[in-house]
Amino acid sequence: MSVESQKRALLAASPLFARLPDDALALIEPRLEPYPVESGDWLMRKGDPGDALYIVDTGRLEVVLGEHDGVEPEDDEEVRVLRVLGRGATVGELALVTGDPRSASVRATRDSSLYRLSYQDFHALLSDSPAFGHALVKVLGRQLQASGGFPGDVPSPKTTAFIPLQERVNLELLAEVVRRAFGPLEDVAVLDQHTAEQGSPEGWGHMLDALEQEHHRVLLVSQSTDTPWRRFCVRQADRLVCVTRPEMPPHDRPMPRLRGCDLVFVGPDHPAEIADAWIDRLRPRARHRVWTTPQSVNVPDVQRAARRLAGRALGLVLGGGGARGYAHLGVLEVLEENGIPVDRVGGTSMGGIVASLYAYGLNAEQRRRAAAAIFAPRVRHRYQVPPRSALARTEGAEEVMDRVFGDAMIETLPTDLFTVAADMVEAEMVVQRRGRVADAALSTARIPAILPPGRDDGRLLVDGGLIRNLPVGVMADMNEGPVVAIDVGGRFEPEVEDDGLPELPGVGETLMRSVLLASAAMNESVIARADLVIEPEVSGIKMLAFQEIDKAIEVGRRAAEENLDAIRELLD
């Protein structure tokens, strides 16, 4: 295909140019200049002058902002992905129209071939072709409309590469299970190292382009740690899956291209200190644990990782609500009894405690006993001698948490877990994905004034319900599958006294209800990101009625049973 034909085909695939008449396209084609960008390089930075627009021919770009809006991302900073751009997408046109600096940063996540249209040529086209200006207005209007509210979910990656971090790590089984996890509706191609090396490295790019055109998904598999094929996989993948044996700590060489990968630990044991070293080095977007021995592999672990990588993993978000949160136990029981796997779980306050019990691997009866023990009367009695910072102490709950979870670390659990706390110092949400499970479970439920704040690296952590009682966004941002939220906040229905006036609640009930009110407005917009919201009928259970655990569990079971068909539809 000639260069002119390639340009014409690309313009036809671009929403900005596709509907232009032929005479307008003829004006644009000679003005487009080839512009290659290597994987990991920045195409533009927030605040740069708008000197050109770009059209993606091959490869992938992502539009990002820093960890806080308005902050230019550095190479090693956490960033928020606003959009992912593939073939035909344009970027940079808004700054050309407004004359303002770039409003976001753009970097290549794969080796990419772009075409560049300069500022001078762009404005010449606006003058020469009214049709071009009309198409531009429509595209920009759609972008501005889409920018309101929360950003949309990032599209699922087209190409995923599996690479080992040490020799003798077999990836073929994991890749095959992931291929199957996409299901019969997805056409998935697998390109392994042996097949690729039958051809020349110069032809790998064309081979991948052809596979991407013919299939919904492409899986690249490298079995080596330092070969041209491995380097090709790293440069070209939309998502990297790095697999390591947990007894092997990272080497001292920098690995910037692997940052943001999915990190999979495979082996019979998962020492927390080595896992932490890998996490600090690679800053992965997600972690997975697969239990294996030389003779066997834990099939549920592999299937769980595969569903998450395929974007078909059910995530459960459990909200706070005091004793009403026991209803979460009933929901989990019904899902287990019906063979519906929960691959990701997170929550706030009581929801965070139940999420921790589930992720730790306890069965239904063990979860019931542990949850009841945490709030047993003999433990609550320990709260009656108040310290200076709260109405109660936490020693009793800490002892139970330590007895239940021991020294287990979040980063080594088989099921993905997060809990949410609020930092009193910075007045911000703290998502806990690392550290002792016992500490995270207690921090998320430290109700202000009832329990003292927890100290954590200069922060003072209290109940996460103050900021995000139902943290759906934390789960949805992972883009790993459907999200089901369980809201147990319920309505506040005080008893009515003889004179017809509502009975005043006790101090504890007042404080707990105040925590929920603090985040109520934010919760409405955040909950909208859930694929399904289940609201057990908990209004008849007071927030401090921990003795009503059986009643709350039964309420949760009924709510789950009523929504089983809806949950199954999400997973089909």
212 and 84 in one domain? no
d(CA 365, CA 230): 47
pLDDT for 3 beyond 70: yes
d(CA 500, CA 512): 24
Measured at the alpha carbon of residue 358, what is the angle toward residues 356 and 362, in degrees to the nearest 5? 115
pLDDT for 517 beyond 80: no
Give the percent of the chain with pLDDT over 90: 32
Question: Residue 568's pLDDT is what?
Answer: 96
106 and 221 in one domain? no
What CATH code is carried by the domain that includes residue 502? 3.40.1090.10
| Interval 153-189: pLDDT, tens | 455 678 899 999 987 777 877 788 888 887 776 889 9
Question: Residue 512's pLDDT is what?
Answer: 60
pLDDT for 123 beyond 60: yes
Q: Is 94 exposed, middle or buried (0-12, 13-18, 19+ CB in 10 A)?
A: buried
Helix (H, G, I), strand (E, B) or coil at 537: coil
Question: Residue 336's pLDDT is what?
Answer: 97
Domain that holds residue 39: 3-146
Residue 177's φ and ψ, nearest 5 degrees, are: -65, -40
Calculate mean pLDDT across residues 297-323: 90
Pairing of strands 90-91, 344-348: unpaired
504 and 368 in one domain? yes
pLDDT for 450 beyond 50: yes
Which region, left, alpha or beta, applies to residue 500 given φ > 0 means left and ψ of -120 to 50 means alpha?
left
CA quadruple 489, 491, 494, 495: dihedral positive or negative?
Answer: negative
User: In which band, very low, low, confident or very high, does the pLDDT at 325 lie, cut at 50, 70 and 90?
Assistant: very high
Question: Residue 152's pLDDT is what?
Answer: 44
Q: Does some domain include residue 151?
A: no
107 and 41 in one domain? yes
Residues whose CB falls within 8 Å of the CB of residue 39, separated by 6 or more in sequence, listed in order: 59, 108, 109, 110, 111, 112, 234, 235, 236, 257
Question: Residue 32's pLDDT is what?
Answer: 92
Calculate mean pLDDT across residues 44-72: 77
User: In which band, very low, low, confident or very high, does the pLDDT at 548 lie, cut at 50, 70 and 90?
Assistant: very high
480 and 453 in one domain? yes
62 and 32 in one domain? yes
328 and 445 in one domain? yes
pLDDT for 518 beyond 80: no
- Determine how many CB atoms are found less than 10 A away from the CB of residue 496: 10
Of 309, 338, 362, the last residue of a domain is: 309
Q: Does some domain include residue 233?
A: yes
Beta bridge partners of 454: 461
412 and 535 in one domain? yes
Q: Does some domain include residue 50?
A: yes
**Which of 90-94, 247-251, 482-486 has maximum average pLDDT?**
482-486
304 and 320 in one domain? no
Pairing of strands 262-267, 454-456: unpaired
Of 279, 309, 339, the last residue of a domain is: 309
Residue from 95, 99, 120 nearest 43 by CA: 95
Question: Residue 242's pLDDT is what?
Answer: 92
CA quadruple 13, 14, 15, 20: dihedral positive or negative?
Answer: negative
Q: Does some domain include residue 170?
A: yes
Among 117-126, 243-252, 514-523, 526-535, the minimum mean pLDDT is found in: 514-523
pLDDT for 461 beyond 60: yes
User: In which band, very low, low, confident or very high, does the pLDDT at 135 lie, cut at 50, 70 and 90?
Assistant: low
pLDDT for 519 beyond 80: no
pLDDT for 472 beyond 60: yes
pLDDT for 438 beyond 60: yes
Question: Residue 321's pLDDT is what?
Answer: 87
What CATH code is carried by the domain that includes residue 269? 3.40.50.300
pLDDT for 396 beyond 70: no
- Determine how many CB atoms are found less than 10 A away from the CB of residue 42: 14
372 and 305 in one domain? no
329 and 356 in one domain? yes
Of 286, 309, 332, the last residue of a domain is: 309
**Longest CA span, the chain:** 88
Question: Residue 398's pLDDT is what?
Answer: 80
Select the more confidently predicted residue: 98 or 416. Answer: 416
Residue from 369, 382, 326, 319 nearest 546 by CA: 326
User: In which band, very low, low, confident or very high, does the pLDDT at 236 lie, cut at 50, 70 and 90?
Assistant: confident
pLDDT for 361 beyond 90: yes
Q: Does some domain include residue 154?
A: no
Q: Does some domain include residue 153?
A: no
pLDDT for 339 beyond 90: yes
Pairing of strands 33-37, 112-118: antiparallel
What CATH code is carried by the domain that includes residue 37? 2.60.120.10
pLDDT for 504 beyond 70: no
pLDDT for 559 beyond 90: yes
Question: Residue 62's pLDDT is what?
Answer: 86
The total number of structural domains in the chain stands at 3
Question: Residue 513's pLDDT is what?
Answer: 60
Mean pLDDT of the chain: 82
* DSSP assigned state of 546: G
pLDDT for 387 beyond 60: no
d(CA 379, CA 401): 11
Measured at the alpha carbon of residue 207, what is the angle toward residues 203 and 213, in degrees to the nearest 5? 145
Residue 136's φ and ψ, nearest 5 degrees, are: -65, -45
d(CA 408, CA 427): 28
365 and 427 in one domain? yes
Q: Does some domain include residue 230?
A: yes
